[in-house]
Amino acid sequence: MRIIAYTFEADMHCPACTKKATERMKLDHGHPYAMGDACQDDHGIEYDFVDSDGNLIHPVFSTDATDPAYCADCRARL
């Protein structure tokens, strides 16, 4: 099982585009569902980034049902 995408801003994004998007997001270790300091996944993305609505970003795994899905930013197939 591997991370193939992330959900935030009401859409799915590939790991590369998510990494770029975290530059404009903020870390919220105080969020009720936060994992805490220094928790990163295999793509180097911290678990506690929040989008503009204050929601934590969520990983999409290779085992999740995503009948062909595409990145909202670069349009790559996920």
Residue 30 forms part of a structural domain: yes
Domain count for the chain: 1
1: its two tokens: 């099982």
| Domain assignment present for 29 | yes
Range of the domain at 36: 3-61
The answer to whether position 77 is within a domain reads no
Instruction: Quick: pLDDT tens for 27-72.
Output: 998 888 888 776 888 899 988 999 999 999 999 999 988 788 999 9
* Residue 66 belongs to some domain of the structure: no
Do strands 11-13 and 26-27 pair parallel, antiparallel, or not at all (unpaired)? unpaired
pTM of structure? 0.88
Kindly state whether residue 54 falls inside one of the protein's structural domains. Answer: yes
48: in domain: yes
* Listed residue (76, 78, 71) closest to 8, CA to CA: 71
